[in-house]
């Protein structure tokens, strides 16, 4: 019986919490271990809070390699790969290069669509169960130039072919959809099925949900495992304490490869650093969340606040703040929304976090080869919050009856 089995979830970000909630709801005894027992030292609290079926194209896509090279020396650019002498980075870049093509997009778009739409439906259920606000007004992809608008027009066509609702909009139509804010754009695309939420409220709701189902939290770090006969027996915590469990879920975000390596699993991963600002008293608040195409900036209303987030800097596990990249986010936002100026950001501390990025742009969700009771759930890059619920459900199913995940998200696919 599930209630007799103890699952140790390693990681207190959105993926770990979603796994913990679905497992606890299924009757497992759950312990979530995170360096900070509150879970607030994760990559999730400062994210854009977007639920995006529109993101059916993986990070490894045509044009991303050339774009990365073009922007590499631009310290304000929204995407970059920080060069350094590192064998893991070299291997990651090689795999990224191999997958950044049309065939890979064609092979994975339906998978990402299916995962995203199932997760979107689960968000509806969770909002009723856990009592957080889910805003289902869609997302606007805003374009400053005609060239960008033509590119997004093609994305909209691909979305519609996949059954994802996408409407190409004139500036007049955009004003109809969101009359509360002035936009300096040539047009955009409205993805009606997308949604947004306050990420902090959602994470707090998951924590409460885990506790109400008998789960608990530990403030520590798992540094190793004790194994016997093809199973993990105990997890070793940073202070030397041992914790025994029946199942172990590695959901530690960008730090997951360090633990996976202890189990003999090579998990290609790079941290993709992003930043955000939360304007606590914005002069205007849009009704819809939006993405600014040229600047790769995300804008999300969260109650009475406004979250502005951006950049993807492949940088290992470095969380240091780059002032010029912050300025790039601010400049892009103010160009698209001319009612705002850089002065509006003064006094607001930036947040930085590491998205766990696989080289093919797909998550790692599945069993660890050679172990009967070890599961990996990480590598979701920019769509970790969006795919959190479906990931939690997949992990719960895997614990219950060994239901395998799709081979395209198998953690051992690069071995």
Assign residue 369 the CATH number of its domain: 3.50.50.60
- Give residue 322's pLDDT: 84
Residues 142 and 260 in one domain: no
- Give residue 76's pLDDT: 66
pLDDT tier for residue 70 given thresholds of 50, 70 and 90:
low
On whether the pTM is more than 0.85, the answer is yes
Measure the CA–CA gap between 49 and 390, rounded to whole angstroms.
16
- Give residue 37's pLDDT: 62
- Give residue 65's pLDDT: 64
**Domain enclosing residue 160, as ranges:** 50-102+131-196+269-357
Span 130-143, average pLDDT: 98
Residues 33 and 154 in one domain: no
Residues 352 and 368 in one domain: no
Residues 92 and 167 in one domain: yes
Number of domains in the chain: 2
Nearest to 374 by CA among 255, 263, 218: 263
Between CA 34 and CA 290, with CA 305 as vertex, the angle to 5 degrees is: 90
Instruction: Tell me if 210 sits within 8 A of 17, measured CB to CB.
Output: yes
Model confidence pLDDT, tens digit, residues 218-229 = 999 999 999 999
pLDDT tier for residue 319 given thresholds of 50, 70 and 90:
confident
Encoded tokens for 259: 């633990």
Q: What percent of the chain has pLDDT over 70?
A: 94
Point out the least confidently predicted range of 70-74, 146-150, 247-251, 331-335.
70-74
Does the pLDDT at position 40 exceed 60?
Answer: no
- Taking CA atoms, 60 is separated from 9, 97, 99, 221, 358, in Å, by 28, 8, 6, 31, 9
Does the pLDDT at position 81 exceed 80?
Answer: no
Span 41-56, average pLDDT: 87
Residue with tokens 């950049």: 311
Residue with tokens 């479906």: 390
Residues 216 and 140 in one domain: no
Domain end: 357, 380, 395, which one?
A: 357
pLDDT tier for residue 377 given thresholds of 50, 70 and 90:
very high
Does the pLDDT at position 201 exceed 60?
Answer: yes
Measure the CA–CA gap between 141 and 117, rounded to whole angstroms.
19
Residues 221 and 145 in one domain: no
Encoded tokens for 312: 């993807």
- Give residue 315's pLDDT: 78
Residue 135 lies in a domain: yes
Instruction: Tell me if 189 sits within 8 A of 167, measured CB to CB.
Output: yes
Q: Which residue has the higher pLDDT, 360 or 83?
A: 360
Does the pLDDT at position 404 exceed 60?
Answer: yes
């Amino acid at each position: 019986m599930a209630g007799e089995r103890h699952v140790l979830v390693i990681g207190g970000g959105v993926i770990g919490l979603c796994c913990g909630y679905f497992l606890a709801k299924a009757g497992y005894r759950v312990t979530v271990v995170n360096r900070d027992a509150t879970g607030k030292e994760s990559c999730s609290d400062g994210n854009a809070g977007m639920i995006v079926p529109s993101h059916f194209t993986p990070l490894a896509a045509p044009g991303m390699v050339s774009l990365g090279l073009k922007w590499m020396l631009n310290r304000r650019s929204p995407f970059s790969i920080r060069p350094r002498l590192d064998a893991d980075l070299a291997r990651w870049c090689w795999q990224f290069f191999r997958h950044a093509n049309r065939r890979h997009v064609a092979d994975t778009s339906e998978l990402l669509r299916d995962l995203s739409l199932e997760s979107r439906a689960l968000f509806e259920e969770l909002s009723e169960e856990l009592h957080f606000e889910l805003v289902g007004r869609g997302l606007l992809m805003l374009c400053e130039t005609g060239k960008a608008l033509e590119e997004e027009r093609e994305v909209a066509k691909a979305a519609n072919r996949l059954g994802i609702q996408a409407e190409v909009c004139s500036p007049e139509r955009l004003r109809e959809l969101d009359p509360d804010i002035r936009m300096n754009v040539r047009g955009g695309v409205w993805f009606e099925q997308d949604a947004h939420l306050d990420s902090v409220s959602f994470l707090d709701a998951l924590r409460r949900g885990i506790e109400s189902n008998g789960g608990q939290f530990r403030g520590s770090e798992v540094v190793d495992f004790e194994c016997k006969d093809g199973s993990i027996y105990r997890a070793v915590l940073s202070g030397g304490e041992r914790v025994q469990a029946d199942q172990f879920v590695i959901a530690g975000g960008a730090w997951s490869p360090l633990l996976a390596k202890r189990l003999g699993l090579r998990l290609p991963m790079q941290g993709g650093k992003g930043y955000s600002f939360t304007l606590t008293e914005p002069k205007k608040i849009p009704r819809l969340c939006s993405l600014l195409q040229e600047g790769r900036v995300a804008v999300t209303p969260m109650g009475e606040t406004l979250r502005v987030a951006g950049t993807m800097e492949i940088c290992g596990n470095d969380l240091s703040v780059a002032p010029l990249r912050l300025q790039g986010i601010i400049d892009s936002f103010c160009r698209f929304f001319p009612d705002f100026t850089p002065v509006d950001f003064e006094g607001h501390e930036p947040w930085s976090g590491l998205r766990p990025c696989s080289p093919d742009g797909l998550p790692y969700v599945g069993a660890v080869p050679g172990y009967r009771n070890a599961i990996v759930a990480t590598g979701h890059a920019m769509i970790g919050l969006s795919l959190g619920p479906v990931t939690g459900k997949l992990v719960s199913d895997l614990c219950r009856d060994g239901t395998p995940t799709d081979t395209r998200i198998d953690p051992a696919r690069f071995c």
